[in-house]
Amino acid sequence: MAQRADNWVEKIAKIIPGYSGYKAREDRRNTDRALRAAIVAIIDDRRTVVDRVLAECSRQMKFDSLETLEALRRRLQLLADLVRYAPAGYAGFFDTFEVKEADLDAIYAHDLRVREVVQELGSKVASLDAASPILAESATAALVECGEVERVVRARDTIVTGM
């Protein structure tokens, strides 16, 4: 039954001028949303790692790393919000401003770059260990990496708003 419905929808789509382009944009819209959600999930997961290390340092009375870890936790929250609420890079069906397919490709390629730098950051955060003698230095390195991630995320905004 589902296949007959799909065929029926495809036939109508061929009749309506511009529908196939609209459908492609809707698919890109969903892909954009899913990719950003995956990036946010990585950041949120790493923030829980920092929360766990913060709690362990507090229990062990290792107060020298707490300030850096708390700054890292706040920075991860900021990054998650930047990605979560980033401009979407598409126009609705009735919008007067239309985003070109090449522009959407550029946004998607940049989003993949954002995902790469977030994964690099995630690796640094995942390696944080409350028992490590270089915890403060490792947390500082992750904090510096947050700056790179933020730069790449904000560059995405420039791409989207520059269209």
The CATH number linked to 137 is: 1.20.120
How many independent structural domains does the chain possess? 1
What is residue 99's three-state secondary structure? Answer: coil
* Domain ranges, residue 42: 23-161
Q: What is the pLDDT of residue 152?
A: 92
pLDDT tens across 108-152, in order?
788 888 889 999 999 999 999 999 999 999 999 999 999 999 999
Residue type, 30: N
Q: Give pLDDT, residue 31.
A: 78
58 vs 18, 30, 73, CA distance in Å? Answer: 60, 42, 15
Q: Identify the sign of the CA torsion 28, 33, 37, 43.
A: positive
Domain membership of residue 8 (yes or no) is no
Reported as a single tens digit per residue, the pLDDT across 39-91 is 999 999 999 999 999 999 999 998 999 999 999 999 999 999 998 887 665 54
Q: What pLDDT, on a 0 to 100 scale, did the predictor assign at position 93?
A: 44
Q: Tell which residue, 121, 41, 34, has the closest CA to residue 80.
A: 41
Q: Give domain status of residue 14, yes or no.
A: no
Neighbours of 10 (CB within 10 A): 12
Asked if the structure places residue 4 within a domain, the reply is: no
pLDDT classification of 14: cutoffs 50, 70, 90 = low
pLDDT at 162 over 80: no
16 belongs to a structural domain: no
Q: How far apart are CA 14 and CA 12, in angstroms?
A: 5
Whether 100 is covered by a domain: the verdict is: yes
Pick from 2-16, 17-31, 112-126 the range whose average pLDDT is largest: 112-126
Looking at the domain assignment, is residue 126 inside a domain?
A: yes
Is the pLDDT at 98 greater than 80, yes or no?
Answer: no
For the chain, the straight-line distance linking the first and the last C-alpha, in angstroms and rounded, comes to 42
Look up residue 112 and give its two tokens. 């993949």
What does pTM read for this prediction? 0.75
